[in-house]
Amino acid sequence: MKVLVVAAHPDDEVLGCGGAIAKHTQQGDTVHVLIMAEGATSRTLQRDREKVKNELSALAVAAQQASEILGVQSLKLHDFPDNRMDSCDLLDVIKVIENKISQYQPEIIYTHHGGDVNIDHCFIHKAVVTAARPIPGQVVKTLLFFEIASSTEWQTPASALPFTPNWFVDISETLSLKMKALIAYDSEMRLFPHARSLTALEHLARWRGASVGVEAAEAFILGRNLIS
C-alpha cells in the first residue's frame, strides 16, 4: 500500500499520525511525507528567512531524523510561508499536492482536520480535499484527517467544526517510535502541562487508546473511504 502524509509544518506529521506512519512502514507499506510550510518565520514580526535560517536548517534536520525513525520512504519540505498560507493562492498549493499524488499514487492520504485554530492547517485541509477529489481514475481511496495537539483542541466550538473522531489506529506497538520521533523535534516540544509536551502527547495517545479498548491509539476523522 502507498501512503501520503500532507502536513503543514515540520512536526505536524509526527504529532498527527507518527504512530500510524510507523505501523504502515512496519507492515511493508510505502509512506511519503510532504511538508508544505517552512516553520519558524512566523516567530518574527515580518517573514525573514535569513533571520531564522539556523532554525529552518535545524527543523529540516529534525524532519529527516523523524522520517528515518518512522521508516518513511521519502520526505519533501516546501517553503510556503509559515502561518501565512492564507496569503498564498490556494490553486498553487493544490497543484503541488496534485503533482505528488500523480508521482506517488497513494491509496491513503493523512492530513489536517479542517477546524484547527492554525490557519495553515485549515488551508492544507482544503487543498488536499480538492487535490484528492473523487474524479474518475482518482487513485486516492481513503482520506483521514488527524488532530494536532495545541491547535485542534484550542479551537472554540462555535468557531469551526469540532474534531469528532470516527477512525482509530492502534499504535500500541509503535507509540515508542512516535515518542522517539517527537524527541527529534525537541525545539518544538514544550514543558508539561503544555498540550505539545511529551507527557501530554503520551497521555493523549493512551486516552485515544482507552476510548477504543487498546493501550494506545491515534484518532482521525474519516473524510472518504472507497471500498472497491
pLDDT in tens, 92-121: 999 999 999 999 999 999 999 999 999 999
Helix then strand count (H, E) for the chain reads: 6, 7
C-alpha cell at 19: 504512530
Domain, as residue range, for 153: 2-225
Q: Where are the beta strands (DSSP E) in the chain?
A: 2-7, 30-37, 74-80, 108-112, 142-146, 167-170, 217-225
Distance set, CA 16 to CA 4, 54, 158 (Å) = 13, 25, 23
User: For the chain, how far is it from start to end, CA to CA, in angstroms?
Assistant: 15
The pairing of beta strand 74-80 with beta strand 30-37? parallel
Q: What is the mean pLDDT of residues 111-139?
A: 98
Which residue is it, cell 504529532?
15
**pLDDT value of residue 228:** 83
| Chain mean position to CA 29 | 18
> Based on the structure, what is the number of domains in the chain?
1
**pLDDT value of residue 45:** 60
Encode pLDDT of 19-35 as tens digits: 999 999 999 999 999 99
Which CATH number fits the domain that encloses residue 84?
3.40.50.10320
Average pLDDT, the chain: 95
Q: Say what the pTM is.
A: 0.96
44 pLDDT above the threshold of 90? no
**pLDDT value of residue 47:** 64
